[in-house]
Amino acid sequence: MIAVDTNVLVRYLVRDDAERAESARILLEGLTSSEPGYICREVAIELVWVLERSYKFGRTDVADIVVELIATDSLIVEVADEVAVVAHRYRSGGSDFADLMILAAARRAGARHLRTFDRRLSMEDGALFIEP
């Protein structure tokens, strides 16, 4: 297994640096189900942030990319089921991907709810706003 960093995925997807994009393509397209790439949840979170903020990708496109990564046989995405649920929720609007991942992690840990000062996140099931 080979761990893949965010910048490799970005170069592969955006192709804004021809030399690095080609290196990323060779690496990613050379992965197999027996020698897969590994994408940790932090890379998934950072990928969404970079595509959204730096490259102005829309939520639908970003969510589609995340779901496609999960479906790729030659990639293992950490907590893939959780990331897929978050991608679906993120696509429909509301909270940021990172905030939804935090909420999902709280659920996975068995928390009754997530307390937050983030009003938008507090609208999600399982999150409660803290009044200042």
Domain ranges of the chain: 2-129
What percent of the chain is predicted at pLDDT more than 70?
100
The yes/no answer on whether domain 2-129 falls in CATH 1.20.1250 is: no
Res 6: pLDDT? 99
Strand 114-116 and strand 127-129: pairing?
parallel
Q: What gap in Å lies between CA 58 and CA 28, rounded to an integer?
A: 24
Residue 41's pLDDT band, with cuts at 50, 70 and 90, is: very high
Note the pTM of the prediction, 2 decimals: 0.93
47: closest CA among 31, 24, 66? 66
Helix (H) or strand (E) holding 73: none
Interacting residues of 105 by C-beta distance below 8 A, sequence separation 6+: 82
Q: What gap in Å lies between CA 125 and CA 65, rounded to an integer?
A: 25
